[in-house]
Amino acid sequence: MALTQKLEMRQGQALVMTPQLQQAIKLLQLSNMELDNFVAGELETNPLLERRREDDGERTGDGAPENAAPEDASTTSQAGDEPGSQGADEWLQDGAGAADPASVLDTDYENVDPESDRQNIPSDHKMSWEAPIGSGSAAVGEGVNLEAFVSSDLSLRDHLVKQLKMMYVEPVHELIGEHLIDMIDESGYVRGDITRLAERLGVELSVVETVLQMMQTMEPSGVFARDLRECLKIQLINKDRYDPQMALALENIELLASHRLPELKRICSADNEDLADIISEIKHLNPKPGLQFGSVMVQPVIPDVIVKQRADGSWHVELNSETLPRVLVNQIYYTSVTSSSATKDTEKSYINECLQNANWLVKSLDQRARTILKVAQEIVRQQDGFLTYGVQHLRPLNLKTVADAISMHESTVSRVTSNKYMETNRGIFELKYFFTSSINSSDAGEDYSSEAVKYRIKKLIEGETASSVLSDDKIVDKLSILGIDIARRTVAKYRESMDIPSSVQRRRQKKLIELETY
């Protein structure tokens, strides 16, 4: 058969990943803090994007018209209600011929061609998304807290250096002390070989040990110890509680850690009352005294969705406006630049690209908010029993159930629920918390959520006494009585995930508590 060349025209459909589409997918799975940082970067690079504050009414100076904010993104979720709100697609009217973010986001992108041309998204109107920038830089004209520039947390090293300066020791001892300060870790322990330090400084080892003993008198009590025993010993000496019995207890502290109390009692030659005092004294010591300095700042979780119960028992679901960026597109500036005869073609091309990016960003932010709200509404509808009665009524739920209910793809629901939090009457939970596996019912009833089963296991263990500690097999039997069909290895897995020790360890701990209260 001869080989020939010919031209053919074929018609087909293919989904391509435009840069704007990639950005929309990225925005969908960002947390509120990551979104805040992303938008801040776009505000710096795109001259057509502006930040809008609460006190911005009708714009003056640049001639920009007042920009009406969209309606509050909230709804009331009840049984039988359709999720979503009216007018959810009205924003598409601003971008004639543009791709629909709602449709392109709700797609499985595993087998998509990443190479494509940038789509044009023209807009003849000024568009905005109403929501405040999180905790970004302060707006112009706002008050500045001067104390933030002059005050800072005192570090452990600074605290020790100040005490060293106040000791009025010999210069050589001060030099050794400074090197010892550099050798301590964040917990306050000396990490390193003091013998090598003596060789490096060219002094006798006894001199370094003398300075070390001097440094061990500093606050907080227990710093400059070389191990746990020495740390506890320093604290007991400062409290005048280091007697021969306590010394024996510290030398055999591994017996206390493993709850081998009869053996420890015999070594210390102590009765039950003396042993209880020793254990109580040791438990009140600080094994890591340096951690009280330079503590790591913990960022509180800011919920993306707020759920409140109304008087009629329904649940009101709304987006938290504090987590949503507040940006707008300056159409007046765009018009002034493109209409000027002095503007070069390259400059017009650049400003047109900026307009397309700005319009797409605003639309993507709007669609992201609507998608989060839609998924949250369905989660609330599915888990209304949890919100009303507690974790024992948490239902088994998976991504497919929610995706089918709101006519979206599972990948979209997965992205929406990543790093998003919901504030309820029972606390703040990550959206993924409400998606749990199911445990079969032994009486052919409704399946149980894994979180609900964990809650029941925790309650059974909390009700134990020293004489009635439940093994994993006994927990299985008790759950079977409640109608929960679960294997022993599953109980062990759930118990370990909640950091609950085994029955043997729990029995030792309860006996230790009884001894202390004796």
Integer CA distances (angstroms), 154 to 95, 158, 159, 202, 292, in order = 54, 7, 7, 32, 10
- Residue 199 tokens read as 């060789």
Asked if residues 287 and 231 have their Cβ atoms less than 8 Å apart, the reply is: yes
Tell how far CA 92 is from the center of its chain: 34
d(CA 217, CA 235): 9
Integer CA distances (angstroms), 277 to 206, 248, 282, 285, 513, in order = 36, 14, 9, 13, 12
Those residues with Cβ within 8 angstroms of residue 338's Cβ, 6 or more apart along the chain or in another chain: 348, 351, 352
> Residue ranges per domain, the chain?
15-80+295-436, 156-292
**Which residues partner with 249 through β-bridges?**
none
Asked if residues 85 and 376 have their Cβ atoms less than 8 Å apart, the reply is: no
- Residue 280 tokens read as 């109580």
Sign for the pseudo-dihedral over CA of 84, 318, 404, 371 = positive
- Residue ranges of the alpha helices (H) in 46-123? 101-105
Nearest to 518 by CA among 476, 478, 477, 466: 466
d(CA 302, CA 186): 29
d(CA 399, CA 435): 7
Between the two ends of the chain, the Cα-to-Cα distance in Å is 100
Those residues with Cβ within 8 angstroms of residue 155's Cβ, 6 or more apart along the chain or in another chain: 293, 294
Cβ neighbours, 10 Å, residue 200: 10
- Give the pLDDT of the chain (518 residues) as one tens digit per residue: 678 888 888 888 877 777 777 777 888 888 888 998 999 999 999 998 988 765 554 443 333 433 433 444 444 444 334 434 333 333 333 333 444 545 545 555 444 444 444 344 333 333 344 433 333 333 334 444 544 444 456 778 888 888 888 887 788 888 888 888 888 888 888 888 888 888 888 888 888 898 888 888 888 888 888 888 889 999 988 888 888 888 888 888 888 877 788 888 888 888 888 888 888 888 888 888 888 875 545 567 889 999 999 999 899 999 998 888 888 888 888 888 888 877 788 888 898 999 988 998 899 999 999 999 999 999 999 999 999 988 888 888 999 999 999 999 899 999 999 989 999 998 899 999 999 887 777 666 677 888 888 988 998 998 888 788 889 999 998 888 888 888 889 999 999 888 888 888 888 777 766 665 55
- Residue 474 tokens read as 């006994």
Identify residue 499 by its one-letter amino acid code: D
What pLDDT is recorded for position 123? 39
Instruction: With residue 363 as reference, give the H or E element that holds it.
Output: helix 345-382
